[in-house]
Amino acid sequence: MKIEEAIQQKAFKDIYNKAVVNLLYTQSYIVSKQSSLFKPFGLSPEQYNVLRILKGQNGNPITVSSIQDRMLNKMSNASRLVEKLKQKGFINREECPRDRRQVDVVITDQGMEVLKQLEEKIHSLNRELIQLNEEEIGQLNNLLDRLRE
Between 3 and 45, CB nearer to DNA:
45
Rounded Cα gap, residues 62 and 147, in angstroms: 30
**Could you tell me how many residues of this chain bind a second copy (CB under 8 A)?**
57
Q: Which span (14-22, 100-108, 118-126, 136-144) binds DNA, by CB under 7 A? A: 100-108
Between 10 and 101, CB nearer to a second copy:
10
x/- letters, 102..131, toward DNA (CB under 7 A): xx----------------------------
> How, if at all, do strands 91-95 and 103-107 pair?
antiparallel
Residue 132 interacts with a second copy (CB under 8 A): yes or no: yes
37 binds, among a second copy, DNA, none (CB under 5 to 8 A by kind): none
Rounded Cα gap, residues 37 and 45, in angstroms: 9
Dihedral over Cα of 132, 135, 138, 140: its sign: negative
Tell me, rounded to whole angstroms, the distance of Cα 47 from its chain centroid.
8
134 binds, among DNA, a second copy, none (CB under 5 to 8 A by kind): a second copy
Answer yes or no: are the C-beta atoms of 104 and 62 closer than 8 Å.
Answer: yes
**Which helix (H) or strand (E) covers residue 105, if one does?**
strand 103-107
Between 28 and 142, CB nearer to DNA:
28
Backbone angles phi, psi at 106, to 5 degrees: -135, 155
Residues 82-111 that bind a second copy (CB under 8 A): none
Residue 55 interacts with a second copy (CB under 8 A): yes or no: no
